[in-house]
Amino acid sequence: MSGTVTVVGLGPGSDELIVPAVISALNQATDIIGYFRYIERLQNLQNQTLHASDNRQEIERAELALSLASEGKTVVVVSSGDPGVFAMASAVFEALEKNTGYKKNTKIIILPGITAILAASARLGAPIGHDFCVINLSDNLKSRNIVEKRVTAAAQGDFVIAFYNPRSKAREKQLERTFLILKKYCEPSRLVIFADAISTKNEKVIITTLEKADTNLASMKTLVIVGSSSTKEIIGTSYVYTPRYAIEEKN
Amino acid sequence: MSGTVTVVGLGPGSDELIVPAVISALNQATDIIGYFRYIERLQNLQNQTLHASDNRQEIERAELALSLASEGKTVVVVSSGDPGVFAMASAVFEALEKNTGYKKNTKIIILPGITAILAASARLGAPIGHDFCVINLSDNLKSRNIVEKRVTAAAQGDFVIAFYNPRSKAREKQLERTFLILKKYCEPSRLVIFADAISTKNEKVIITTLEKADTNLASMKTLVIVGSSSTKEIIGTSYVYTPRYAIEEKN
């Protein structure tokens, strides 16, 4: 008998920002797998078996999901935000690729969610109203060279840039180093935003500039946005937006 | 008396992918403004006044919204996808900035939605499992130079790239020109995906390569994804994903 693995996104924090398809999947699950902080967010469940695990155990969670599904279970793997943006979806496919035995029988479904950059953008106004890049600053799984190459390219392309996982105890200087690269390409007054726990009671937003930004204010969970050259605050309001039009630079 | 303008995202098409916060806002609205195709999607409304307009009238819609709100109305502006990603949120702030008279009284709220790249990513597997860029190929509001600069930077940074609005009757060659730039930096077998009408009954996905991709298959509404150097199909399945790890290039 063949089960399913459904990987879902719980959005940024508020239940009002979880799509109905995800709620249906949770209600129909026999087993729910996830980082314990995300499992804690689930409410009104009935007889589902909950498998909570610690951070950084993505591959173990993915393998458990595929294993339970191969026994015929209806498994849901929970991520915060969107499962496809630096979350559990890729881990499930990595595990699937490593274990060819799973492939034939396991149906995998991904259900999207409101990822941190969309939540932060909505809270601020419209900072990603123009072309943007999304970069994971964690170097657990990639080299610092690749991170630096992408930060440089994003700055050269004058993209709005959203940074996920900007800083951790193991990588205290990662965001600081990133800002040093950006300072080569961006003016000191370039807008920088730190967004935390958007849509929850602990929500916090700091609007500052590249020159003044204190990287110590960011944690692993902070979403950091660096504006493009046309991103601006509307004077007299707390709105930040990037216009849809782009002024051509003189080359 | 001061009203509100709430700009909401209706997601990619399925009602199962609209967040509850958006449904609440629609139910509480006195007036709903939007492109007529999006107004047509709304169901179960009661006494709301509907203001449907044609494509490309973003600023007119934004000004109408601010004007009605200044009369005390509870206005909702609808976008497809997410309102902050190449949709109505920026237009509303552009209108607000032009018309300083609105600023003092008008409260503007943005509610996020599932934007096309998240919907397409979920449908395919996990193609944006690593750093990615989102580029609007419409050159209505920006020069071709800026588009080309950003496409080049995105390719040089080895990002996964999502292209919105890749092609229209007025810009038949835009995607073809974009692919010509990408061919300078990417191998011929680089994965290319055309995703249309995801989550609706007209859903269509084409998985091809940069070498073989026929740009005539894209319309204005197609979401085009070009993988990074590590994006791959899982053999024997229809899943496309980008691993979380990145192999360092030799420089």
DSSP codes, B65-129: HHHHHHTT-EEEEEESB-TTSSSHHHHHHHHHHH-GGGTTT-EEEEE----HHHHHHHHHEETTS
Among A122, A149, A243, whose Cβ lies nearest the Cβ of B94?
A243
- A131–B132 C-beta distance less than 8 A: no
Question: In this structure, what token pair is assigned to residue A104?
Answer: 């034939």
Identity at A63, one-letter amino acid code: E
- A114–B19 C-beta distance less than 8 A: yes
- B17–A20 C-beta distance less than 8 A: yes
For the domain A4-114, what is the CATH superfamily, name and number? Tetrapyrrole methylase, N-terminal domain (3.40.1010.10)
Residues of B in contact with A58 (CB under 8 A): 244
Domain boundaries, chain A: 4-114, 117-241
Q: In whole angstroms, give the CA distance from residue A159 to residue B133.
A: 9
Cβ neighbours of residue A208 closer than 8 Å, sequence gap 6 or more:
A191, A192, A193, A194, A214
- A150–B157 C-beta distance less than 8 A: yes
User: Minimal CA–CA distance to B109: which of A163, A202, A237?
Assistant: A237
| Each residue's pLDDT tens digit, B130-175 | 999 999 998 777 788 999 999 999 999 999 999 999 988 888 889 9
Residues of A in contact with B123 (CB under 8 A): 110
Q: In whole angstroms, give the CA distance from residue A155 to residue B120.
A: 26
Stretches in chain B below the pLDDT threshold 70: 1, 103-104, 246-251
Return the number of other C-beta atoms located less than 10 Å from residue A207's C-beta: 18
Residue A250 has pLDDT above 60, yes or no: no
| Each residue's pLDDT tens digit, A67-99 | 999 999 999 999 999 999 999 999 999 999 988
Question: Sign of the C-alpha dihedral, residues B45, B49, B55, B57?
Answer: negative
Architecture, CATH, for domain A117-241: 2-Layer Sandwich (3.30)
Distances (CA, A) of A71 to A31, A66, A102, A231, B173: 12, 9, 11, 51, 51
User: Minimal CA–CA distance to B126: which of A118, A101, A77?
Assistant: A77
Q: In whole angstroms, give the CA distance from residue B20 to residue A243.
A: 28
Confidence of residue A160 (pLDDT cuts 50, 70, 90): very high
| Nearest CA distance, A107 vs chain B (angstrom) | 10
Q: In whole angstroms, give the CA distance from residue B243 to residue A107.
A: 19
How many Cβ pairs within 8 Å bridge chains A and B?
Answer: 252
| Each residue's pLDDT tens digit, A102-149 | 766 789 999 999 999 999 999 999 999 999 999 999 877 778 899 999
pTM attached to this predicted model: 0.96
Q: In whole angstroms, give the CA distance from residue A159 to residue B151.
A: 11
